[in-house]
Structure 1
Amino acid sequence: MKVHVHQLHTGDILSEDVFSLTSRPIVASGTEIRNEHIEILKAFNIQEVNVKQVQSTDRQQTDKSEVKEEITKRDADFYMIYTKAVSLYKKQFNNWQAGMPIDLYQVRKEIVPLIEVALEKPKTILSLHHFSNVKEYIYHHAISVGLISSFIAKKLGYTKGDIIQIGLAGALIDCGMSKVQPRILTKKSALNKEEYEEIKQHPILGYKMLKGMTGIKENVILSVLQHHEREDGSGYPLGTKGNQLDIYSRVVAIADVFHAMTSERLYRKQQSPFKVLEQMLLDQFGKFDQAILNLLVRELSHFSVGTKVKLTNHQVGEIVFIDPHSHTRPMVKIDSGEIISLKQRNDLYIEDVLS
């Protein structure tokens, strides 16, 4: 039955997932409602939910340890701040399209609180592609690249100040897209040569938007210019390579491609982080800073044991072991109890990360 959020009682149980702007539920079906869930629903401006009501005597007998919950209090904090950041970035982007200058203070206000929450819960990096959607991809991409970049910076041992600056760089890499014709950004079919050449100008356009601004490191501005450059010189817009690339640029380039390849796009389905990292290691060998890419692979695998995943053969299981020599191909215990070593099964990939 449908119940208005203001009429929910603790102990009611959701009969359907509740979604907001993300592709995954903010509160899952089967969750026993508590006060914090009601606050979460109100914060996301959810008006009604579907519940199956439980009698008070049954509520007292419910073993809360067995109640399946999709979202913890910390998860809720992250989702709320993330969604707010995406919404605020969208407003900023629309302002840039209208000709207004970048308000660095506002961008920092959007990204810094989210970075601080995400770094306390690094497993969220594995799930960022679930939050994005095709229609508003460019806004989700900016926030997610900022988070992934800051995660990498922390693991590289940077100071908090540099972590924030690299996160800021990640969030700003596509600011120049605001100067590209809007019809190109929303085009559903393949771009023609002229349109693609215009897209390739966005690093230069973004660099011009930031050049000369105070309160931002030169490394950040260089990252906006160089985020599509590659170690072997095959990138654009200038074909810069190797030691000519700023260290910030090397970090955000990896974060940019990682999120783009894991996310659903107009022309491509989303892919799992494990499959994408394997492609980046093998298919794009020599294009990225190998030490930074290897670090990202290692760090993501460190907290993936226990993660529930779906394989390309549609079997669902849990990661039980990470081979230190094959981080992207762990051992997965499927629901039947069988353990599959993906290192021995090149025909299988992890298709999706479920939890």
Structure 2
Amino acid sequence: MPNISVAEVKPGSKIIKDVVTPLGSVLFSKGKVILPRDIEILQAFLVQQVEIEGAQGENKPSEPAKAGTKPLSVKTGATINESLLAKSNSPLHDEYEKMLALVKQSYRSVAAAPLPIYELRSQLEALINELKDYHVLKFTPRVINDQDYNYHNAVLSALTSYKIAQWCGYPQKDWMQAAFAGLLHDIGNVKVDVSLLQKPTPLSGAELEEVRRHTTYGYQLLRNVTAINEGVRLAALQHHEKIDGSGYPLHLEGTQIHFYAKIVAVADIFHAMTLEKAYRKAQSPYKVLEQILTESFGKLDPVIVQTFIQKTTDLYNGTRIKLSDGRHGEIIFTDRSNPTRPMVQVEGKIVNLMLERDLYIQEIIA
């Protein structure tokens, strides 16, 4: 096969064998047409030689990328404009806002009136129908009032719990129920003093105990609700349990915790940290994923955590991002063994976030 040094590779050459990094990850797949910037990437990864189509040293003329492939570089503003347009006019956002309004109304009246479970299910189904346009790291509600944090957390946890149930290979009959578990997991907060939920300073022991009672309050509120299964009720009760027994309210361990609760625990932590609160700024989704990974050992289900991180960070090369230092760039390669720290191109230079540990992706732009 025609093996040539990276220094001899010309833009337009086609790779005929996967290019693998020294660490064993696939950098470029067979069939890829080399772009000018790709040569920099090969050099950055210390790749010495590649196999290309044609005689050694005689590359074919530059050919366009095949239809349907995504270029690594966004050369015009079209993608960004389409993304911004989608954020303001997408059916997903329309259904999200209807769901948010219904959840707000339902939560506020649940202590005095039956939960409108059939209306909630109908709207949840309408929202799930738009799930193809939902990406956990990319989706942002049109308007976020920090006073509505609990309602946003409920709807986002519903969407994410549905996705996690899918990704983890649970039976399809559990997907919608997992979404219900996410939607209703914090309903017990309606019986907790709102000043405690929004208190910016540390809670006293008695205050913390009262806030923690939202789990048992939630189970009690859902105990007689029809059209949801026991797993949904248990998710409200158990979503703060930890697999090592250190959680609350019952200090359950491992298999004692319902798998809906394990799913919701991951979704809830992620959205709790990435949503704006009255007393705390929203955090970077990538930073939160790293915290979930490093702080979850013995606490969260490891399979759910790993699956969640791998699936949410599976973004195409060329995805535009903003770094924690304010600079804008785009993802050019993600090593699946370090999914939260891809290589990005910023201002014409390649930044390896696996090495630059003080930097991280603040947000995904498009």
TM-score by length of 1: 0.76
Q: Report the counterpart of residue 195 of structure 2 in structure 1.
A: 183
Q: How many residues are aligned here?
A: 290
Aligned to 2:345, what secondary structure does the other structure show? strand
What is the match of residue 129 of structure 2? 116
Higher helix fraction: Structure 1 or Structure 2? Answer: 1
Q: Which amino acid aligns with 1:101?
A: P
SS at match of 1:68: helix
What is the SS of the residue equivalent to 2:110?
helix
Gaps of 5+ in 1: 1-62
Q: How far 1:182 moved relative to its partner? A: 3.0
Distance change in 2, residues 1:332/1:145 (3 Å):
same
Matches within 5 A, 1:101-250: 101-118=114-131, 120-128=132-140, 132-250=144-262
Cα pair distance change 1:193/1:240, threshold 3 Å: same
RMSD in angstroms over aligned alpha carbons? 2.3
Residues 122-141 of structure 1 show CA distances to partners (whole Å, capped at 9, x for unaligned) of 42553247864311101101
C-alpha change, 1:312 and 1:279, in structure 2 (3 Å) is same
Matched residue SS, 1:323: coil
Residues in 2 aligned to 1:191 and 1:66: alpha-carbon distance in whole angstroms: 45
Amino acid at match of 1:215: A
SS at match of 2:332: strand
Worse-matched range after superposition: 322-331 or 260-269 = 260-269
Among 274, 278, 282, which residue is 2:286 paired with?
Answer: 274
Once residues 78 and 296 of structure 2 are traced to their aligned partners in structure 1, the CA distance between those partners, rounded to angstroms, is 45
Q: Residue 81 of structure 2: which of 54, 57, 68 is its match?
A: 68
Q: State the Cα distance separating 1:104 from its structure 2 match.
A: 1.5
Q: Is the 8 A contact 2:289 2:309 kept in 1?
A: yes
Q: 1:301 aligns with which of 304, 313, 334?
A: 313
Q: 1:276 to 1:75 in 2, by over 3 A?
A: farther
Q: Identity percentage over the alignment?
A: 38
- Would the aligned equivalents of 1:130 and 1:263 in 2 still touch at CA under 8 Å? no
Q: 1:81 to 1:122 in 2, by over 3 A?
A: closer
SS in 2 for 1:71: helix
User: Residues 129, 297 of structure 1: CA spacing in aligned structure 2 closer, same or farther, 3 A cutoff?
Assistant: farther
- 1:130-177: per-residue Cα shift (whole Å, max 9, x none)? 864311101101000000100101112234331111001100001111
Q: In 1, are the aligned partners of 2:95 and 2:126 still within 8 Å (CA)?
A: yes
Report 1 or 2 for greater relative contact order, CA contacts < 8 Å, sequence distance ≥ 6.
Answer: 2
CA 222–344 in structure 1, closer or farther in 2 if over 3 Å, else same? same
C-alpha distance 64-278 of structure 1, shift in aligned 2 (>3 A): closer
Q: Secondary structure at the match of 1:343?
A: coil
Aligned to 2:322: 310
Q: Look up the match of 1:20.
A: none
Question: Which of 339, 342, 346 is the aligned partner of 2:357?
Answer: 346
Using the alignment, how far apart are the partners of 1:304 and 1:270 within structure 2?
Answer: 25
Greater radius of gyration (CA) = 2
Cα separation, 1, equivalents of 2:358 and 2:137: 26
Residues 122 and 151 of structure 1 are in contact (CA less than 8 Å); yes or no, is this contact kept in structure 2? Answer: no
**Contact kept? 1:310, 1:351, Cα under 8 Å:** yes
Q: Deviations 1:29-79 (Å, cap 9, x if unpaired)?
A: xxxxxxxxxxxxxxxxxxxxxxxxxxxxxxxxxx99689331239961111
Match of 2:98 in 1: 84
Which runs of structure 2 are paired with 1:44-55 in the superposition (5 Å)?
none
Distance 1:65 1:346 in 2: 32
Secondary structure at 1:236's aligned position in 2?
coil
TM-score after normalising by structure 2:
0.74
Does the CA-based 8 Å contact 1:307-1:319 persist in structure 2?
yes
Q: Deviations over 1:307-341 (max 9, x none)?
A: 2221112111111211111001111111x111111
Distance 1:186 1:281, change over 3 A: closer
After TM superposition, the runs of 4+ consecutive aligned structure 1 residues lying more than 6 A away are none
Range with bigger deviation, 264-273 or 186-195: 186-195
Gaps of 5+ in 2: 1-75
Task: Give the secondary-structure state (helix, strand or coil) at the position aligned to 1:209.
Answer: helix
**Separation in 1 of the partners of 2:228 and 2:262?**
18
CA distance in 2, matches of 1:198, 1:161: 35
Partners of 1:309 and 1:158 in 2: how far apart? 32
Contact 2:87 2:142 in 1 (8 A): no
- In structure 2, what is the equivalent of residue 251 of structure 1? 263
CA distance in 2, matches of 1:268, 1:186: 10
